[in-house]
Amino acid sequence: MLMRAMARRRCFAVSTARGFTLIELLVAISLMALMAVMAWSGLDGMTRAQAQMRQHSDAVLTLQAGLAQWEADLDALASQPNTPSLDWDGRALRILRRSANSPAEGLRVVAWASRSIDGVGHWLRWQSPPLKTRGQLQAAWDKAALWAQNPGDDERKGEVRIVPLERWQIFYSRNTSWGNPLSSEGVAADGKAAAIPSIPDGVRLMLSLPAGPAISGTLTRDWMRPGLGGGK
């Protein structure tokens, strides 16, 4: 009797210690694989979201930096005898400005324009090196116009791409009203066109931005001459 009881206990121990069947292992492996795929999908989605947020932030910061530079150029407008401080020819806005570092460096000519690069329109900025003679100033003024129309490798050296752009418009404020700069050039006291256009009271910038990671649609930025009011 004792021997039979011990044999039964051994059989019970063996039966309770048996391993998983093949089907159970396959089910367990399938569940683990499914959980791994779900975890990977979640991580991939988070990575994509972070990349999109980073791209959006970078694009917005670039646009903000471009607009800040635009206003800084206008705030630093300089005057020289027989030389325009600001000129819009329908293609580029040329600006004669003081150097940002030190007046001893001289003046700079800055130009803003729009051009298609590799089939995509871009808002661009160009600036000359410091200028200390009238000959250098006139050469840089002419070079800025050439850069906006048909630039070569030499003209592109001072070029910086700001943001993708569909189109842009410029308006001048004179006598509390906004108008086309080409039809609202400065006039002399006798009503005749001035040889050197006067600086307008304000400059309105309108950018048509394409759909992208940053802001899209039409962006308007007003600059007012210091002492007349603030921009927005």
Tell me the C-alpha to C-alpha distance, in Å, between residue 191 and each of 163, 188, 194, 201. Answer: 40, 5, 9, 18
**Of all residues in the chain, what percent carry a pLDDT higher than 90?**
45
pLDDT in tens, 101-144: 777 788 999 999 999 988 899 999 999 999 999 999 999 999 99
pLDDT in tens, 31-89: 888 887 777 777 767 777 777 677 778 888 999 999 999 999 999 999 888 889 999 99
* Amino acid identity for residue 71 in this structure: E
pLDDT in tens, 164-173: 999 999 999 9
| Dist CA 112 CA 45 (whole Å) | 39
Which element (helix H / strand E) includes 67? helix 22-75
**Is residue 191 over pLDDT 50?**
no
**Is residue 99 over pLDDT 70?**
yes
| The pair of three-digit structure tokens given for residue 103, joined into one six-digit string | 């007046």
